[in-house]
Amino acid sequence: MDLDPQCRAMLEAIAANGSPFDTDDAVEARKMVAATTKPLPDPDPRFSEVRDGSFPGPGGAIGYRYYRPTGIADRGAPALIYYHGGGMVFGTLDSHDPICRATAVGAGCVVLSIDYRLAPEAVFPAAVMDSWAAFMEVVDRAESFGIDPSRIAVGGDSAGGNLAAVISLMARDVGGPLPCFQWLIYPNTDMAAQGGSIDAFADGYFLTRDGLAWIQRLYLTSNDQRFDWRASPLRAPSLARVAPALVQTAGFDPLKDEGTAYAARLKEAGVAVELIDYPGMIHGFIRAIGVIDVAQQAIDDGVTALKTAFAA
């Protein structure tokens, strides 16, 4: 499969304007992401409520954005807790706002997007602890959020997919409550991985091998942490009894192999899992709604899986 022409055009634009993975400076990377961030305007007639709030967390307040589409039940609605991507170094509520809105409307569910702490200011396992605290807060406050505590899914892209997978494991290990589903979009599941797709797509496809090494240097404080399952859920001793999953991978993504491997391990552990690969795509493509046609298809596939899980 060849690189999708729309992805190729986007890569040309990135080459001209710079990529957050081309710098060793977290502040500069965040500025680059902000420059490509175009949140949808409010008021948005598709929603009865979009608001920002915060939860208490282990390192201070954890911000969130709450999306409630029009036409869903006032009580007992299904919900998705979404963890944004960005390598644990960049990414914001705004950078993933269009994804959250499209998902909420498509799936007919509440979405809560979580603004967890970022490295290097807050290193591993700060993002995990914030993500877990947010999950438990949403479960505990389900009634006030107008959602059904038995129909809360977790999801995220890249680093956010890592966090969604880790939260699913943590929920299992403490005996619940369990998310009803996990939506893992080109997830980073093994920070100790080498070779394979990482080498095959080391340069020229947005996320680079050097970029992966850079974000790990900022997020992790020792080499041993690369093998900690809270950083590398693929290395968890067992994936049994976690939430059913959709894993999505991109054909020209350094993380493709570890996403594929995670889906295989889930299946081996007896977990219901669907793996969808988008052959002509690059890492991060799902953010390019309206620019890359397959981005909407990937969201539609996620919406279909969420609706099935919520119905079950």
Give the residue numbers annotated as catalytic, written as ranges.
158, 253, 283
Q: Give me the residues paired with residue 245 across strands.
A: 182, 273
Distance CA 83, CA 137 (A): 15
Distance CA 210, CA 216 (A): 10
Distance CA 216, CA 88 (A): 9
Report which DSSP code applies to 163. Answer: H
- In degrees and rounded to multiples of 5, residue 190 shows phi and psi of -150, 100
- CA dist 58 to 76, 91, 278, Å? 28, 20, 37
Alpha helix ranges (H) inside the chain: 5-17, 26-35, 97-107, 126-140, 142-145, 159-173, 197-200, 209-219, 256-268, 293-311
Displacement of CA 106 from its chain's centroid (Å): 17
CA-nearest of 183, 185, 184, 203 to 254 is 203
Angle between helices 97-107 and 293-311 (to 10 degrees): 50
Distance CA 37, CA 11 (A): 16
Cβ neighbours of 229 (radius 10 Å): 18
Q: Are 103 and 306 in contact (CB under 8 A)?
A: yes
- CA dist 115 to 21, 57, 64, Å? 21, 11, 6
